[in-house]
Every structure is written in C-alpha cells, then in structure tokens.
Homo-oligomer: A and B are copies of this chain.
C-alpha cells in the first residue's frame, strides 16, 4: 500500500567514507571548487550519484552562517500593482527572517533607462540577488549583465529584458495575455457587430506593445468581421484616458467592446458609466485592484486579465534563493499564469 519511501538520510560523512576521502574533499566536489585531482572528483561524484545523495539544506544554511541579501528594484510612485507586490513581500517578513534572508526595497525611476541603469550599478557587490522591474533598453541590459558578471543573481520582474543574461524572468507572456483579451472580446460580443475600441498607456512600453500585438493578431485572424478602431494612448493616466474614451464614445455610438491594455482603468470606467453605456459595452482590462474588483462586481468590467502579484513576489524570492543556493528551480511552480478573473472566480 505504501510506497516511494524517500531515501534514508545519508550524510556527507557517509559519502566520504564510501569514497575513501575526507569530508572536506566531498564538500569541494559538491560545490565544484578547485583543488581536487580529477579522478578523485570522478570517484566522489560517482559515490554521490550512486547513493542519490542530497545534502541537507538546513545544515548547509546553518554552517554558512551569513545572511543573504536581496534587493527589489521597483518603480517609485503610486502604482497600485507594484504596491501590491511590495505588500506581499512585507507579508513574508516572518518567513524571510526565520531563514535569515533580507529583502530591501530600492525605489527608482524605472522608466528612465539611465537612472535605472545607474541604480543597478550601485547595487553591485552588496547583494546576493536582485529583482528588477526592468525596461528593455541597451543601458539597462548592460547594467544587468554587469551584475550577473559580478556574481549577483538577477531576475527581471513583471517586465523583462530578454536580451540580457538575467537568470530568470518572473512575469507573464504579454503576447498571450493580449491574445486572451482578444479572444474574450470576440467571444463575449456574441453575434453583435460593431466597433472595438482599444486604449493603452503607450505603445512604447514593451508589455503594452506585446499585448496590443497579441490582441490584434486574434482580432485579425478570428474576428475580422469586427471593426477595430485605432489605438488610443492614455499614458496610464485616469483623466486623460477618461477624456479620450468619452470623446470616442461620443463619436462612435456603435462601439460594442473596449480593451484597456494598461492602467487608467478608473478613468475609462468613468467615461463608460457616464455615458450610460457601461453595461452594454464589453469591457476588458488588466490586473486586480480594489477598483477593478469593484467594477467587476458591479458589472461595468466584464473580465480582468491579471497576473498574481503575490505569486510574483514569492516566486522572485524563491527563485533568487534557489539560484543563490544552486538548487534547481521547480519550473511549474515558478511559471506565472495569465489569470482570467470574472465576478464569480474572484480570489
């Protein structure tokens, strides 16, 4: 009935004895440190493999003694989504300190590449790991690569720099997110025909551009009977978005759906509500905040496409820790999903 009993608890000492060497030598091999003859290395490695030996992480942590320091480089300013990530990091404080891990917030202007790059450079040497909400720019890429070269583990958070040598990206596939938005718009408008509006913060932001790309892809290939209006840019500001959408709704009485790619959802919702067309028009936006939750519950917003900020916060910490310990990453666990949130499956 019972099966799969996990290996008896071997220790370094057992391996040392079986391989006919000392503790220190096994340790050296385990961390591929120099100073061991290559045939000794092989012999030890074989013994380790033969026994499927796993060093006890708790013992390793304890012996190492030192605390590990991680820095989170996040946008300064009042972005609710980023604030949620920071809040979830705060909730982990007990967990972190019980493991002698320290997480420090470094707020900076992540939208100015030179400022961001300079900030990253100042971190060099002081941290075991850095998580950064990055901007895809050559200067930033170089700063990330410098950190990596200095031995710091680097993960990009929410916004990636794929061309850098960062160790890991914690965030969603934004093209797929845009495709998801497109498919939902197409499916939710049903038989109706009419115009589709789309507004983003800026087509210069990588994540926005990717979402727009995915959205257009699906609209063109599967819902080509729908009439897609030109992209508006609201700079992620409520007021500006509201004005743009108000004007658009006035000009086109036959708008049947609206996709907001970035922030400014409050402004868009206000424009929709004030024209009294809030519930007829299919409205899709991103991220779950107190405000989008309210809009979902009252029916103004039909779907929020979101990435789980708590998951992202914890995943970034876990990945940095695994990288620092040279432990493998559980890839399925660290894959951030594109959540489709509607009124009835709100967390």
Q: Which residues of A contact B (CB under 8 A)?
A: 1-7, 9, 52, 54-59, 61-62, 67, 71, 88, 90-108, 119, 176-177, 179-180, 182-184, 187-192, 214, 218, 302, 308, 310-311, 314, 327-328, 330, 332-333, 335, 337-345, 347
Contact = CB atoms under 8 A, between A and B. Distances in A.
Contacts of A342: 180, 183-184, 340
- Listed from nearest, the 3 A-B pairs whose CB atoms lie closest are A190-B190, A58-B61, A340-B340
Nearest to A184: B342
Identical chains bound together, number? 2
B330 A3 contact: no
A176 B344 contact: yes
A166 to B, nearest CB: 21
A99 B99 CA distance: 14
Nearest to A173: B345
Nearest to A305: B345
Q: Is the interface of A mostly helix, strand, loop or mixed?
A: mixed
A213 B192 CA distance: 31
Most buried by B among A6, A91, A106: A6
A95 B98 CA distance: 19
Nearest to A1: B106
A7 B263 CA distance: 35
Contacts of A182: 344
Nearest to A90: B4
Contacts of A177: 345
B339 A314 contact: no
A6 B342 CA distance: 37
Given A5-B102, A314-B333, 5 more contacts: A6-B93, A52-B97, A58-B59, A91-B332, A176-B345
Nearest to A325: B98
Contact of A105 (B3, B57, B90): B3
A58 to B, nearest CB: 4
A7 B102 CA distance: 8
B9 A67 contact: yes
Contacts of A98: 54-57, 327
Nearest to A187: B188
Contact of A104 (B5, B92, B105, B308): B5
A9 B58 contact: no
B180 A2 contact: no
Given A62-B62, A97-B54, A337-B347, A2 B188 contact: no
A344 B187 CA distance: 13
Contacts of A214: 344
Given A98-B55, A330-B92, A332-B310, A4 B104 contact: yes
Contacts of A92: 330
B56 A328 contact: no
Contacts of A62: 56, 58-59, 62
A129 to B, nearest CB: 14
Nearest to A86: B4
A99 B218 contact: no
Nearest to A88: B332
Contacts of A106: 1-2
24 contacts: A1-B106, A1-B108, A2-B106, A3-B105, A4-B103, A5-B102, A56-B99, A58-B62, A59-B62, A62-B62, A91-B332, A95-B327, A98-B327, A176-B345, A177-B345, A184-B342, A188-B188, A189-B190, A190-B191, A310-B332, A310-B333, A311-B333, A335-B347, A339-B345
